[in-house]
């Protein structure tokens, strides 16, 4: 009877979807899969379930699923490795077949009344199939498993499905970084762009330069209220923190297990006030510099002495040892050039090298760092300002000041990640309610995120191939705590995941809202402090 009611409920929710062989825009899976075919009946389990994986599947994947099942309720899970065993009772089968005719991140998920079958040609594909199944059983009533029968074939639209987090303006503890990685995994995202250093704090231990964290990881106080408030008020409280290299290794491994690449960002040549406060010889002035205590763009910029390049190369050598990502993010944004203009020694170096202006000097600066990283087998990615001074075509570009940088970069043959402020900046306000918690400014409601199409019309089919993907950015000037980050991120991250994964012709906002409401259970179960505007609360 219960099964019948549940099946009927599903029919009601997804009218028109049953037994159709066309892609449908209604299923409580986010991001929406490419292809779903519903059939009658459901897979139902009250007590015991067998989880069986073939000999190619790593036990880690089976353990993920086992953990998700255990977290969901009181179901006993027995795990076995041989799919040829005679199976008595309900089972979930995981099948990894590298020769299968599937895309690298593709998976198949088949749910029948007796069994659930997940197949992939790669561990990542299987992991994504497990995430879809997890989302489906999260919606089961009363901590049991009741999952409607269906067949899913699914794969992502973009290869870079990123989320960024700034831990300089506010430091986030290791446990929260892991939680953040969990959010990405749940939504089949695969890049965590970790903004580790900025004017307001250097947050990663560098063994050769201990002062970066002894001095650079702490500021004497922090701006209270908004940057534009007059007069400025400060809290008078020392603030800081950093990740040890042990923390970093632990987090990189944690992300890797979830098929997430961490792209670390070490900003050059601007956003370097915390580094210059730690080692004043890196700067262009004789000022007594301290770690910046308020927001906005700092005038401090690295000088162009050989010792400074040596410093940066040594720092990056440690970064490369810690992070296996192909791309290393070198920032490049908002580098004010006034101190370069005013510095006799910088100007004299420019004359000697035949560098015409400060913009070209930035190109030279970034080019040197790029060459060093290339020797280590890595490539750089930087904010779209890196195009201004000229940069090798091997550099990838993150288009944030609108889409123009991304268009120009793709036309010049650079790989591009689209993250324009007006659709991808989760530090902007998400409603116009007067009681909205303090944010930097801007306005980015959920539907604006959802409506974003990352492939610009200006690009030819060939040029479009350079768009690697899309990313949501989380700058934390006005996010002091993990709870505030959660509030700014959820549910906009759901919309971002769908831009990254789902074919655009299948996206439909009303259907998306229905699905985020069905998945609200994830937010509640995980104590996530989400914004409620879209949930009628
Ligand atoms: C940026 O938002 N400054 C990249």
Domain of residue 148, CATH code: 3.30.379.10
Q: If you measure from the C-alpha of residue 281 to the centroid of ligand 1, how many angstroms do you get, rounded to a whole number?
A: 26
Domain containing residue 147: 2-154
Residues having CB within 6 Å of any atom of ligand 1: 333-334, 383, 400
Does residue 21 surpass a pLDDT of 60?
Answer: no
Ligand 1, atom nearest to 421 Cα: 2
Annotated active-site residue 334? The verdict is: yes
Q: What is the mean pLDDT of residues 228-245?
A: 97
Of residues 221, 247, 333, 334, which has the active-site annotation? 334
Q: How confident is the model at residue 70 (pLDDT cuts 50, 70, 90)?
A: confident
Task: Give the pLDDT mean for 459-478.
Answer: 98
CA 471 – ligand 1 centroid, Å? 13
Domain contains 352: no
399 C-alpha to center of ligand 1: Å? 9
271 catalytically annotated: yes
Q: By percentage, how much of the chain surpasses pLDDT 70?
A: 93
Give pLDDT tens digits for 193-207.
999 999 999 999 999
Q: Pick the catalytic residue from 170, 193, 195, 271.
A: 271
The whole-angstrom separation of Cα 81 and Cα 78 is 10
Distance 277 CA to ligand 1 centre (A): 22
Cα 2 to averaged position of ligand 1 atoms, centre (Å)? 52
Integer CA distances (angstroms), 216 to 204, 206, 240, 274, 290, in order: 10, 11, 9, 5, 8
Report the chain's terminal Cα–Cα distance, integer Å: 32
Rounded to an integer, the average pLDDT of 169-189 is 98
DSSP for residue 153: E
Q: Is residue 68 part of a domain?
A: yes
Residue with the smallest CA separation from ligand 1 atom 2 is 400
Query: Mutation test of ligand 1: which of 383, 417, 471 has the most ligand atoms closer than 8 Å to its C-beta?
Result: 383
> Among 56-70, 108-122, 208-222, 303-317, which is the least confidently predicted range?
56-70
pLDDT at 46: 81
Rg (CA), the chain: 25
Please give the distance, rounded to the nearest whole angstrom, from the Cα atom of residue 385 to the centre of ligand 1.
Answer: 10
- Among residues 367, 215, 235, the alpha carbon closest in space to that of 290 is found at 215
Burial 471-507 (b: 16+ CB within 10 A, else e): bbbbbbbbbeebebbbbbbbbbbbbbbbbbbbeeebb
| SS3 of residue 522 by DSSP | helix
Split into its structural domains, the chain has a count of: 1
pLDDT, tens digit, 9 for 90 and up, residues 115-161 = 999 999 999 999 999 999 999 999 987 678 889 999 999 999 999 99
Higher pLDDT, 407 or 12: 407
CA dihedral (473, 297, 266, 254) positive or negative: negative
Looking at residue 87, its pLDDT comes to 64
Residue 248 lies in a domain: no
Catalytic residue among 95, 154, 198, 318: 198
Is 128 domain-assigned?
yes
- Whether residue 90 is contained in a domain is answered as yes
Helix (H, G, I), strand (E, B) or coil at 398: strand
Distance 341 CA to ligand 1 centre (A): 23
Helices (H) and strands (E) in the chain, counts: 19, 23
Cα–Cα distance measured from residue 273 to residue 145, given in angstroms and rounded to the nearest whole number: 53
Query: How would residue 83 be classed by pLDDT, with cut points 50, 70 and 90?
Result: low
> Helix, strand, coil % (nearest 5) of the chain?
35, 20, 40
Q: What is the pLDDT of residue 89?
A: 76
pLDDT at 16 over 50: no
Ligand 1: residue whose CA is nearest its atom 1: 333
d(CA 374, CA 392): 11
The kind and range of the H/E element at 366 are helix 358-375
Q: Give the nearest ligand 1 atom to 473 CA.
A: 2
Atom nearest to 383 CA in ligand 1: 4
Tell which one of 265, 267, 333 to mutate to probe ligand 1, the residue whose CB is within 8 A of the most ligand atoms: 333
Spatial CB neighbours of 387, under 8 Å, sequence gap ≥ 6: 397, 405, 408, 409, 412, 414
Whether 52 maps to a domain, the answer reads yes
What is the average per-residue pLDDT within 440-452? Answer: 98
Which CA distances in Å does 161 have to 27, 369, 415, 466, 470? 21, 26, 14, 14, 6
Residue 311's pLDDT band, with cuts at 50, 70 and 90, is: very high
Contact 41, 7 (CB under 8 A): yes
The predicted pLDDT at position 12 comes to 39
Atom of ligand 1 nearest to the CA of 400: 4
Ligand 1 centroid from CA 333, angstroms: 6
- Which SS3 state, helix, strand or coil, does residue 393 take? coil
Task: For residues 194 and 179, give the distance between their C-alpha atoms in angstroms, rounded to a whole number.
Answer: 14
How much of the chain exceeds pLDDT 90, in percent? 85
Query: Would you state the structure tokens that stand for residue 358, as one six-digit string?
Result: 């400060």
Is 226 one of the annotated active-site residues of the chain? no
Res. 75 pLDDT band, cuts 50 70 90: confident
Q: What is the pLDDT of residue 85?
A: 59
Nearest to 441 by CA among 124, 226, 120: 226
Give the mean pLDDT of the chain: 92
> Residue 103 pLDDT > 90, yes or no?
yes
Residue nearest to ligand 1 atom 3, measured at CA: 333
Residue 237 has pLDDT above 60, yes or no: yes
Weakest mean pLDDT among 12-26, 165-179, 222-236, 416-430:
12-26
Q: Which of 420, 440, 475 to mutate to test the pocket of ligand 1 (most atoms within 8 A of CB)?
A: 475
pLDDT of 376 strictly over 90: yes
Selected residue with higher pLDDT from 346 and 12: 346
Is residue 409 domain-resident?
no
Instruction: Return d(Cα 316, Cα 206) in angstroms, integer.
Output: 9
132 part of a folded domain: yes
Cβ neighbours, 10 Å, residue 76: 11
Kindly state the average pLDDT of the residues 11-20: 38
The per-residue pLDDT for 25 is 32
Bin 273: left if φ > 0, else alpha if -120 < ψ < 50, else beta.
alpha
């Amino acid at each position: 009877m219960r099964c019948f009611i549940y099946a009927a409920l599903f029919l009601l929710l997804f009218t028109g979807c049953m037994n159709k062989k066309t892609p449908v825009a209604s299923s409580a899976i986010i991001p929406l899969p490419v292809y779903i075919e519903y059939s009658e009946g459901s897979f139902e389990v009250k007590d015991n379930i067998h989880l069986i994986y073939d000999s190619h599947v790593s036990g880690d994947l089976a353990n993920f699923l086992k953990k998700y099942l255990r977290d969901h309720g009181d179901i006993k899970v027995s795990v076995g490795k041989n799919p040829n065993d005679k199976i008595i009772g309900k089972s979930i089968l995981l099948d990894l077949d590298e020769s299968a005719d599937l895309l690298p991140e593709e998976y198949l998920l088949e749910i029948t009344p007796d069994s659930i079958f997940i197949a992939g040609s790669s561990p990542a594909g299987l992991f994504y199939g497990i995430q879809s199944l997890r989302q489906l059983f999260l919606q089961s009533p009363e901590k049991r498993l009741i999952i409607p029968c269906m067949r899913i074939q699914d794969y992502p639209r973009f290869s870079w499905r990123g989320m960024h987090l700034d831990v300089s303006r506010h430091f986030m503890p290791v446990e929260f970084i892991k939680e953040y990685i969990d959010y990405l995994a749940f939504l089949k995202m695969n890049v965590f762009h970790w903004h580790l250093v900025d004017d307001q704090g250097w947050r990663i231990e560098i063994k050769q330069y201990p002062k970066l964290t002894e001095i650079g990881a702490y500021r004497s106080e922090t701006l209270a209220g908004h940057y534009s408030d007059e007069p400025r008020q400060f809290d008078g409280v020392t603030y800081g923190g950093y990740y040890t290299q042990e923390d970093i290794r632990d987090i990189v491994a944690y992300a890797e297990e979830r098929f997430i690449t961490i792209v670390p960002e070490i900003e050059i040549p601007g956003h370097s006030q915390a580094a210059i406060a730690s080692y004043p010889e890196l700067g262009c002035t004789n000022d007594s510099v301290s770690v910046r205590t308020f927001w906005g763009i700092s005038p401090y910029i690295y000088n162009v002495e050989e010792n400074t390049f040596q410093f940066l190369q040594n720092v990056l050598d440690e970064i490369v040892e810690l992070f296996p990502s192909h791309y290393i993010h070198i920032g490049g944004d908002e580098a004010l050039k006034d101190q370069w203009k005013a510095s006799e020694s910088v100007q004299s170096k420019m004359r000697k090298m035949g560098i015409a202006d400060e913009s070209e000097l930035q190109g030279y600066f970034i080019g040197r760092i790029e060459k060093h990283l290339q020797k280590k087998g890595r490539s750089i990615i930087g904010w779209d300002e890196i195009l201004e001074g000229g940069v090798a075509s091997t550099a990838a570009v993150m288009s944030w000041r609108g889409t123009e940088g991304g268009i120009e970069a793709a036309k010049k043959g650079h790989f591009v990640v689209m993250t324009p402020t007006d659709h991808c900046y989760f530090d902007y306000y998400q409603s116009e309610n007067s009681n909205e918690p303090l944010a930097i400014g801007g306005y980015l409601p959920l539907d604006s995120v959802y409506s974003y199409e990352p492939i610009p019309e200006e690009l030819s089919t060939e040029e479009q191939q350079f768009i690697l993907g899309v990313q949501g950015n989380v700058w934390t000037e006005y996010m002091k705590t993990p709870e505030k980050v959660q509030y700014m991120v959820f549910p906009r991250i759901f919309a971002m995941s769908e831009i990254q994964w789902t074919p655009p012709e299948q996206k439909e906002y009303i259907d998306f809202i229905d699905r985020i409401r069905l998945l609200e259970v994830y937010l509640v179960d995980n104590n996530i402090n989400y914004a409620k505007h879209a949930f009628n609360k």
